[in-house]
Each structure stands twice: as structure tokens, then as C-alpha cells.
Structure 1
């Protein structure tokens, strides 16, 4: 958020208001100096703006660090690994069944998903890059070995879209977190696909 966003939050938090903008500015300075605030590097595109500074909160940075630690600790755990021959056979069957031809880059991502065995993987690409196709092919390969694949999305409509496009039974992130909090966790589930992970609240990601 920008300084202007922090100022707005300060104003909203004061039911009786302030005497003037100078007082609001002074309170904002105190929040930025003493509150749970972390200053972010100012992007070059914002250096010419009067309120170009950007901030986040310590709970966000703590959550991001937790997510990174979980991902790093999960490197090379040999989870949901499919041997190369079986993976190639499953991918060939997927291409024959759908009439799609995966690109070299898509095949490389699939090789990593199916063969590297990391606990956490990120598939990053612009819209239209074929991420959904990659996940559909991966689901087909995993399910060919008896693994259970499910999806999670930020909203019910997005979950329905993920299910329709990739063939992965999906629910909202909120419903998965409710299940986890209830003690069931992810028992019986081998792979959880989080759709559009970049827009998920950072404080929720380490819980998934």
C-alpha cells in the first residue's frame, strides 16, 4: 500500500476524526515509524509520484517467509513421482485423447511436476501460456498411477472454472482451510492444485 492508503486507514480508525490534515499526517508518520509496517523498495515507475513509497505489514512478510521455508524444506522429497516411462506414456495418451500437442516448454514443466518430487511447485506463465493444459495433462498422468488430485481457487466460480478446464475436482480455498482447521487436513489427497496462487492472500498460502 502507499502512504495515502495508510493515511486513509488511520482516518478510518479514528471514529472522532482529527482536527486537520496536519494531525492526520503526524499520526500516519507515527504508524509508519512505530507500527507493524515494512517499507518496500520503490519501483522505478513510482519515483516521480508524490506518494511513490510502498509499504506492507509484518504479518504479510512473516507469511511469505513461512511459505518460502515450507517450499524450500520440501525440495527433493520424492513426492508423487512418476517414473519417466510411465509419465511419457500418460502424456502421450492425454495428447491422443484430446488432440492437443504439448509444446517443448509445456513438456519440460510436466517433466518437473511429475518427476522432481518437490512438495511445492509453482507453474508461472502469462495468460494463454497453457498452464491449464499442463495441469490437465499432469492430472491425467497422476491419476493413471492411482493418485488423488484436487483443486483450490479463491472463489466458487473460479473453482468451477478450474474443474471444467482441467478436469480437477475443485473447491474454494476457504472450504479447504475449514477442512484443515477441522482436523481432516489433506488426508486421502496426494496433490492440491492452487489456481491463481499469485492473487491468494499471502497469510492463507502457508496454511494450504
Structure 2
């Protein structure tokens, strides 16, 4: 998700089969939420919105290869939510936002790397993970990229890049394997992403440029 400033973005992916991609690109001054569920395979959602509108789209129960592309202009409220994904979930986000992600119920090899720039509050927690859980949080100033993944079995990657003046939290849970959530957002937005109950190889990469 690439978003301008002053928006509140919430994205969560859970219990999808595999290869679910959520690409969310948003302009400034919008609230974007996306959900996809219950699709079989190769489902593509392309949402392009102008300014001053409220767009809501939901799809659930996807089999595999579900793509959600949401492009929004400024001053709109878009909601998209993907849940029940197994593998390959991607979410993109930007800077000056409040992103929350938490991973819980992992067994061992939980790593938390938190790198923060100036004037931000970044929080990352992973617990009870299967194995090899990595949380990498890199933050610079005035940067617009965030990523979170949740509910993955193994090889879950969460890339969260945040600028300054934001509160970032990341969590991933209950994904099958290879779930990627890349969240890119503009400045002055509030983004929340949560995932829990991952099996193993959960990676949380949070980089803020």
C-alpha cells in the first residue's frame, strides 16, 4: 500500500490457502481497509478510486493466487480485508502512521530487531512461535513503507518500514507458509496490522526509510 498523508489504514490477512497478494496503494487523506476471503484461485481485485469517496471491498476464502490491488486517490475511505490466507500474503504501507503488528504462540528462535529513527514509537512483539521468528524493524525519518504478515505456518515475513513521528506495532499469526505482508503508506496515517498463531519461520521485517 502506498499512501499519502493523513490516513488510517488497517490491513489483516488470515487463513488463506496460498499465494495471496494484497497490494494497496493509496493517495493522501484516506482511510483504506482491504479484505479478501473465500476466493478459489487467481482472483484479482483492482480498485482504483478518485478523491472524496468511500470504497469498501471484501473477499474471503481464497484458494490460491489471490491478488488484491487497491489504488486510491486522496480524501477517500477504502476498506479491504484479507483473511484465512495460508501463504504469500503481501501488504505495503508508508510513513507517519501508527502501525501495529504482533506475533504470538511461536516456539523458538524468536528474534526481535528494532531499529528506530527519530521521534517515533516502535513496538514489536513475537511470542510462542514455531521457529525462526524474526522481527526486523528499521526506521528512518520521513519514509513511507510498512509491512506485516499474520497467521502463517512458516516463512512469514513482515517488512515494516516507517518514517518518523509514528507508532509501529507488528504481529503475525496463523499463516500456513510464505506469507508476506508489505505495507507502504504515505505520511500522517494510522495503519494497524495484526497477525497471530504462526507455525514456524515467521519473519517480521520492519524497515523505515
Q: Same fold (TM over 0.5)?
A: no
Question: If each structure's helix is expressed as a fraction of its own residues, which one has the higher value?
Answer: 1
- Greater RCO (Cα-Cα under 8 Å, separation 6 or more): 2
Question: If each structure's strand is expressed as a fraction of its own residues, which one has the higher value?
Answer: 2
Instruction: Please say which structure displays the higher CA radius of gyration.
Output: 1
**TM-score (ref. length: structure 2):** 0.24
